[in-house]
Structure 1
Amino acid sequence: MRTPTLYLAVLTTLSFTPYANAANFTFSSYYHDHMVLQQSSAGTSIWGHSSKIGDVVHIKLNNNEVARATVDSHQIWQATFTSPTDHGPYTVSATSSLGTLQISDVLFGDVWLCSGQSNMEFYISKLMNATEEYADSAKYPNIRLFHVHKEFSTTPFTDVRHIDAAWLKPTQQSLVRYSAVCWLFGKYLSQHYNYPIGLVETNWGGTRIEPWSSPDAIKACAGFSGRRKRNQYQVNQLYNSMIYPLLRNTIKGVIWYQGESNAAHAYQYSCQFLEMINDWRAKFSKASGGTTSSSFPFGFVQLAPYREAQQNLAYPQLRWAQTANIGYVPNSLLHNVFMAVAMDLPDFTSPYGSIHPRYKHDVAYRLYLAALGVAYHQRGVEFEGPFPTSAVIDSTHRHLTIEYDRGLAPIEVRSSEGFEVCCVNHNTTFCNSFHTHWMNATMTSHDYATVTLDISSCNHANHVVQVRYAWQESPCPLHQCAVYGKSSNLPGPPFTFHVSA
């Protein structure tokens, strides 16, 4: 696909040279005119570089001094100041003995970092309604776009070295090669809250989770290591160049769309994902002087379908691992984490390959709903699809009834397909995902919050120990999985669940 001509000006990458041994005084490369700074009860971080160690830097908002910083031995100055209650715009200046720096049209709002692999990278220009999105973007002048250029490194960068978009306002020119999920998520938030939203895109197609993880996160999951080759597929190398340089900045949270490249080793992902989230939280908080929460909200997209009629179990296993093997979020391991279920969004005829479904509006809207409930603590928002709370076999041992959400919320059944039970001898109490005794279970009835399955094909010499749902690479046609929330219109996520008699 050729690069659209109208984007060439934006595509020109901005470069920033290392600051060591340079006689200069600058903001970090993250800070530019038209940017959004995070408005936080813990304050806002601002930082930069100076060749004069020990020099004092005075930070002002609209000519009012709000903070001071001292240049440290690494030639970095960093200050935190109380976030203003007004959204702006402001002029921000930094003054030292080497001169005065100034950026204008600075807004205060929420800053979200958007990371992952190609489905996060998926351009707005590839959407089915791209033309309408370009035209609509004029309604959102207070959404600002930052895009980190793809770069890998064996050692951490102090600052972002190359930038594809430096806090641009949304126009067709700036949006055409921007992340669709990132933009739409920010747009829905802007519609709801009507205050500035900053979007920081930092992603790379085809990458595994290991390159996005720090050495500490890698070590936390025993047995994971990598060779120190120089490319975007090796451990730590995208963290070093595309995450580490952002740690000093204050952010609201992260949305993440990745996992396809880890599906072949899905059993490892539950540890890897958990540790990466915990590690990013700790490091963002520490580097930003506590202005980024050490438990900031983290949203992710559960893997969408890939190929039609494939029996590959790697995808459902990875979806399960994304929830720390619990099935839903937030949970006891993944606190303040939210997700968008995407298994009912196949796009097998996508011109960009079926691994890249074009239904990013659904994805972003589901992420947005979940963010309202988890990140923004908004009451009354239905952001999760139905999840089972019990699975009981009747006295005849012919039927299994699954109850959702303790029977308190109505479900909508759109299909009778997708349920399986594991039928094993009476000495077996557990079935793993690859057990050969899984068999389809026909739905015989459903009501307000339950579905009943026929399990009579599991003969008297065996018994059913588990039930699972949507345990396929591509479990259903578009918007036609079996169980949805009747009022939320959200699909119930895949699960594996122990049964009781």
Structure 2
Amino acid sequence: MKNLRQIVAILFILTTFNLSSQISLPKLISDGMVLQRDIPITVWGWASAEENITILFKGKTYHTKAGQNGNWEVDLEAGKAGGPYTMRISGSNTIEVNNILVGDVWVCSGQSNMEIPMSRVKPLYEAEIPKANYPTIRYFEVPKTYNFSGEQEQIEGGKWLNTTPETVLNFSAIAYFFAKDLTERYQVPIGLINTSLGGSPAEAWLSEDALKKFPKAYNELLLYKDSTYVNGIISGDRERIANWYREVNTNDLGNAQHWETLNIDSAKDWTNMQIPGYWNDQIETRFNGVAWYKKAFKISPAHKNASGKLLLGRIVDADSVFINGHFIGNTTYQYPPRRYNIPENILKEGENQITVKVINERGKGGFVPEKPYQIVLNDTTISLTGTWKFKKGVAKEPLKPQTFVRWKPAGLFNAMIAPLLNYKIQGVIWYQGESNTGSPDEYQALFSTLINEWRIRWNLGNFPFLYVQLANFMKSTTNPEESNWAMLRNQQLKTLTTPNTGMAVTIDIGEWNDIHPLNKKDVGHRLALLAEKIAYHEKNTVASGPLYKSSEIKGNKIVVSFNGIGSGLVAKNGDSLHSFAIAGADKNYVWAKATIHNNKVIVWSNSIANPKYVRYAWANNPDKANLYNKEGLPTSPFQTE
């Protein structure tokens, strides 16, 4: 037995040694990849110490040797767009990488609005998805993870995907529409590397060195370098949240009494509730916890036992849905649209009932207004808005929010950017900022630092960095207001002073009741216009709407000049201009009149004799902002201060 153990140990050592000497490659260098055209390409990987490496690509042979630490890299000659090609990498073993294209590679980064896949926005693009056959658009999604201890050399997984109607459902919607526009115009392969994470602030995408300019964020990183500290936060949150949900579900009367099967005629002590809406707006005693809703609806004989779709807009926070006592589906957090399938043999002729259990952690629980609430059965739509029956399941103190460790400073840079830095790219598209609206004043400093650092670390010069300005969101107000969202948009506007950047304005395509607006096609298109101008040097492309340039006070009026006017300024839909406000030295803004004259805007108010400042679209949701250029691109919000 002792000899057997010795033999096993020797075999293990030999096997381990053999594996350690094998050439290995980063996940990005794999079948289906797109390599950046027109610049030398770095291929890199790992092998045994001082191992000789040979690379054969496009008929040329390259040689290098691994260092003492096993790292190796080699630069390949610049190439024109084309393919497919095969690359063979040889040493003690041989790896063949197939189906390689040469074209343009774009990194797609930011938070959830960049992350949101085509499947989420599918209802807007039902006709487009079946046509998504683009074999030269390749997509790579970087695994979502973080690291505070240092910069990683390798990502944990991922593979290059061709674009098909099936695969595109998992692609970033913005990235797909961006690539589609460029492919159709230039007929060049496009590689998309999606490295984004919902909810992430800019600080998470900065390196440790870059964060030293921002003491608060840097000191927070130092705390999170302590794995014991991090693990304590994670385990504490997990236990606290699990206990809250355990108590809620244990004490919920609806669970105990099976309200999902209770006939609505027996719900005599239930109160009426208008849907959509929030229960704390419609009852005297507010609470968090669990609430149950019921509604009856009728099905015609023709739709008996039919399958269908159930659309329940958005619900805050989690929901479980039943029809005629049968479980239909559930969603565990507030942001996704509720789209459920109704299987066959659930619906019956005559009266049916739907029951929804809602768990609300904090704030207002219920059904988000101005979303679709309906059952769709082929050619028939049954509205579910109006009066429902409502009953409290259990009241519970609000649940303290989770500490999202993965959003902390430097974590995403280390795990999701650092491993990409050898991979040559054309540029970056970026959609982020919502998570920095709590402290908008420093965003320009953070963002410009991020852009400059990524450029330095990629060592490709001032590559194009194209970003999206925050869309309109939240309820509109009747009076001029202070707004963190407006302030952050202004910080994004100021970031255009960073060379070779472009900003897609989306102040007209947001949704007041959704931080994740579904219209991603126009966002991708506007980013593609910027790419045409900045990356592809199309001099005649009007890539942007009007951008504030300067202002001049003339008596009781202020004359505002713009860049990016294209063929000229217009008030959209031929209406008069809206969303302009004016103030004197006291900065007390009032709504102003505005008119276009000689491609400038003249702003005034009879109540301000000595104006000093102008604001345009300065609000969370300036829903009447209508200054555009004739090319149909909106003006960025701005202030003249």
Shift of 1:47: 1.1
Task: Determine which of 24, 35, 39 is the counterpart of 1:26.
Answer: 24
Residues 96-107 of structure 1 aligned to structure 2 (within 5 Å):
96=91, 98-107=92-101
Partner of 1:295: 462
Q: How many residue pairs were aligned? A: 437
Instruction: Assess if the C-alpha contact under 8 Å between 1:20 and 1:75 holds in 2.
Output: no
RMSD: 2.2
Change (3 A) 1:406 1:85: closer
Change (3 A) 1:312 1:162: farther
Deviations 1:69-107 (A, max 9, x none): 2212332211111122251111101111x1211111101
Establish whether residue 336 from structure 1 lines up as the match of residue 509 from structure 2: no
Instruction: Assess if the C-alpha contact under 8 Å between 2:124 and 2:519 holds in 1.
Output: no
Q: For residues 68 and 323 of structure 1, what CA distance do their matches in structure 2 show?
A: 47
Which residue type is aligned with residue 629 of structure 2?
G
Instruction: Assess if the C-alpha contact under 8 Å between 1:19 and 1:49 holds in 2.
Output: no
Q: For residues 485 and 564 of structure 2, what CA distance do their matches in structure 1 show?
A: 28
TM superposition score normalised by structure 2:
0.65
Classify the secondary structure of the residue corresponding to 1:453: strand
Partner of 2:570: 412
Q: For residues 110 and 185 of structure 1, what CA distance do their matches in structure 2 show?
A: 12
TM superposition score normalised by structure 1:
0.83
Task: Determine which of 512, 515, 533 is the counterpart of 1:355.
Answer: 515
Shift of 1:483: 1.0
Classify the secondary structure of the residue corresponding to 1:110: strand
Shift of 1:494: 1.3
Q: For residues 171 and 364 of structure 1, what CA distance do their matches in structure 2 show?
A: 18
Task: Determine which of 440, 445, 455 is the counterpart of 1:271.
Answer: 445
Partner of 1:450: 600
Establish whether residue 95 from structure 1 lines up as the match of residue 90 from structure 2: yes
Q: For residues 412 and 355 of structure 1, what CA distance do their matches in structure 2 show?
A: 28
Change (3 A) 1:315 1:65: same
Instruction: Assess if the C-alpha contact under 8 Å between 1:185 and 1:365 holds in 2.
Output: yes
Which residue type is aligned with residue 337 of structure 1?
T
Classify the secondary structure of the residue corresponding to 1:131: coil
Establish whether residue 345 from structure 1 lines up as the match of residue 509 from structure 2: yes
Classify the secondary structure of the residue corresponding to 1:187: helix
Partner of 1:429: none
Which residue type is aligned with residue 44 of structure 2?
W
Shift of 1:406: 9.9
Instruction: Assess if the C-alpha contact under 8 Å between 2:582 and 2:611 holds in 1.
Output: yes
Establish whether residue 161 from structure 1 lines up as the match of residue 328 from structure 2: no
Residues 450-469 of structure 1 aligned to structure 2 (within 5 Å):
450-459=600-609, 463-469=610-616
Change (3 A) 1:206 1:388: closer
Shift of 1:452: 2.2
Residues 314-463 of structure 1 aligned to structure 2 (within 5 Å):
314-324=484-494, 329=496, 331=497, 334-348=498-512, 354-394=514-554, 397-405=555-563, 409-414=567-572, 415-424=576-585, 435=587, 437-443=588-594, 445-459=595-609, 463=610
Q: For residues 108 and 448 of structure 1, what CA distance do their matches in structure 2 show?
A: 47
Q: For residues 455 and 209 of structure 2, what CA distance do their matches in structure 1 show?
A: 13
Which residue type is aligned with residue 403 of structure 1?
S
Counting aligned pairs with the same residue, the percent is: 30
Shift of 1:20: 12
Moved over 4 A (4+): 18-21, 406-409
Instruction: Assess if the C-alpha contact under 8 Å between 2:444 and 2:494 holds in 1.
Output: yes
Partner of 1:185: 178
Classify the secondary structure of the residue corresponding to 2:43: strand
Deviates more, 1:147-156 or 1:401-410: 401-410
Classify the secondary structure of the residue corresponding to 2:583: strand
Which residue type is aligned with residue 456 of structure 1?
N
Classify the secondary structure of the residue corresponding to 2:147: coil
Shift of 1:129: 3.2
Establish whether residue 483 from structure 1 lines up as the match of residue 627 from structure 2: yes
Change (3 A) 1:117 1:86: closer
Q: For residues 442 and 114 of structure 2, what CA distance do their matches in structure 1 show?
A: 22
Shift of 1:193: 0.6
Q: Which runs of 5+ in 2 are unaligned?
A: 1-15, 225-229, 231-404
Q: For residues 76 and 102 of structure 1, what CA distance do their matches in structure 2 show?
A: 19
Change (3 A) 1:219 1:386: same
Instruction: Assess if the C-alpha contact under 8 Å between 1:59 and 1:93 holds in 2.
Output: yes
Partner of 1:492: 635
Shift of 1:205: 0.4
Shift of 1:404: 3.1
Partner of 2:269: none
Q: For residues 447 and 88 of structure 2, what CA distance do their matches in structure 1 show?
A: 39
Instruction: Assess if the C-alpha contact under 8 Å between 2:504 and 2:527 holds in 1.
Output: yes
Q: For residues 17 and 621 of structure 2, what CA distance do their matches in structure 1 show?
A: 49
Q: Which runs of 5+ in 1 are unaligned?
A: 1-17, 286-292, 426-434
Deviations 1:335-381 (A, max 9, x none): 011111011112235xxxx1001111111111100111011111101
Establish whether residue 307 from structure 1 lines up as the match of residue 474 from structure 2: yes
Classify the secondary structure of the residue corresponding to 2:409: coil
Shift of 1:467: 1.1
Residues 50-69 of structure 1 aligned to structure 2 (within 5 Å):
50=47, 52-62=48-58, 64-69=59-64
Q: For residues 271 and 390 of structure 1, what CA distance do their matches in structure 2 show?
A: 22
Change (3 A) 1:482 1:72: same
Task: Determine which of 101, 115, 118 is the counterpart of 2:112.
Answer: 118
Change (3 A) 1:74 1:248: farther
Classify the secondary structure of the residue corresponding to 1:31: coil
Q: For residues 19 and 308 of structure 1, what CA distance do their matches in structure 2 show?
A: 63
Shift of 1:223: 4.7
Shift of 1:448: 4.0
Shift of 1:447: 3.1
